[in-house]
Amino acid sequence: MPFFKLTDEQLMIQSMVREFSRKVLAATAAERDKTKEFPAGNLKQMGDLGLMGMMIPPEYGGEGADTISYVLALSEVAYSCASTAVVMSVHNSIVCESILKFGSEAQKQKYLPQLTDADIIGAFALTEPHAGSDPVAQMTTAEKKGDRYVINGSKRFITSGKNCGLVIVTAKTDESKKHKGISAFIVEQGTPGLIVGNIEDKMGLRASDTTDLIFENCEVPAENMLGNEGDGFKIAMTGLDGGRIGIAAQSVGVAQAALDHAVKYAKGRDQFGHKISKFQGLRWYIAEMATEIEAARQLMFSAAAMKDRKEKYTMQASMAKLFASEMVNRITGKCLQIHGGYGVTKDYPIERLYRDARVFTIYEGTSEIQKVVISNGILKDKRKM
């Protein structure tokens, strides 16, 4: 029995998303992996189902759901298509919630209904070529000129960078103040000076575009600043806390899919006159994997519940992200091993799941950065990098 007893509403959401995911998303996941086609139509369907603004209040077009419902839904999407799940995660956890928490009323009224309907997809631009784990070292600048800010710089590895309708971008507005000199801006796609650069040819999550974004004298109105000047670092770190719970959910979904595929294969594969599911070594693999998935699920629920209770959850989000992302890499590797030689062919979903899982220990803070966050929380100090 799960430690967290789900409500009838949460179970209903999980069931609804499970049906949609396994009928609709699963049908095209393998083909999209080959073609790298962005799942725009599926995302619009998800907007119609309320999945693209789950935690946004109804007055802004959202569902007003809790974080537990959100991670249940996200796990189900990731089960069938991790590429679609990462777009959903960034869109919900970082973009929508950042605008809800830090945006002006005018910004909420203008952007949230479009985002929750998936009329536009949101992106978040923090990472730079020389500033990955150290965002304070970012070099993008925003200079105020009259009633506008002029942004110059480049961002790297931006999820949905090509297909987004708006991007929240961080930039330095005061070089002398380090992280307190970083501000955040809402930049609409099509703004002069915003250029979509290189689109990465990735090993996994191939239907989710990952791009460079270049800003060349990109002018945005001053009212497009998100929060106050100097709030950019706080906005980014707050968004990443929620995003890390989302990565835990993606990891749980992909790991559960891998285990289910491995169990199905093992129950059908004959070797030495027996189904390989009868072999003790393989059965122990399955027991260990199921236990690890459940442990990750409970860490995910714990962080999500703390967020819903409005408690400080930074350390718990990092714990969930660290354990779950490392877990899914172990699980997909073992499940591929169970498939033997077939596991490295594209005839079986495990090959795609194995590739999709690899980046989970890297994006939105590497496993090493999660250990820094966790140890800071335990020791109640911050080690200088």
Give pLDDT tens digits for 88-100: 999 999 999 999 9
Which residue type does 62 have? G
Res 3: pLDDT: 62
Is residue 223 predicted with pLDDT exceeding 80? yes
CA distance 78 to 135: 28
Catalytic residue among 76, 97, 229, 364: 364
- How much is the average pLDDT of 70-76? 98
Q: Residue 175 catalytic?
A: no
**Nearest in space to 155 (alpha carbons), one of 206, 210, 102:** 210
CATH code of domain 123-233: 2.40.110.10
Is residue 176 predicted with pLDDT exceeding 90? no
Res 304: pLDDT: 97
Res 236: pLDDT: 95
CA atoms within 13 A on the CB side of 147: 2
**What's the whole-model pTM score?**
0.95
Res 384: pLDDT: 59
1 confidence band (pLDDT: 50, 70, 90)? very low
Give pLDDT tens digits for 280-312: 999 999 999 999 999 999 999 999 999 999 999
Is residue 382 predicted with pLDDT exceeding 80? no
CATH code of domain 8-120: 1.10.540.10
Is residue 5 predicted with pLDDT exceeding 50? yes
Number of residues assigned to the chain: 385
Q: Please report, for the chain, the start and end positions of each structural domain, with discontinuous segments joined by +.
A: 8-120, 123-233, 240-379
Res 4: pLDDT: 72
Residue 107 contacts residue 226 (beta carbons within 8 Å): yes
- How much is the average pLDDT of 333-352? 97
- How much is the average pLDDT of 118-130? 96
Residue 54 contacts residue 70 (beta carbons within 8 Å): yes
The gap between the terminal CA atoms of the chain, to the nearest Å, is 42
Res 245: pLDDT: 98
Average the pLDDT over each of 23-32, 44-53, 111-120, 264-273 and give the range with the smallest value: 264-273
**CATH architecture for residues 240-379:** Up-down Bundle (1.20)
What are the distances in angstroms from CA 119 to CA 40, 43, 96, 361? 10, 9, 13, 30
383 confidence band (pLDDT: 50, 70, 90)? low
Res 324: pLDDT: 98
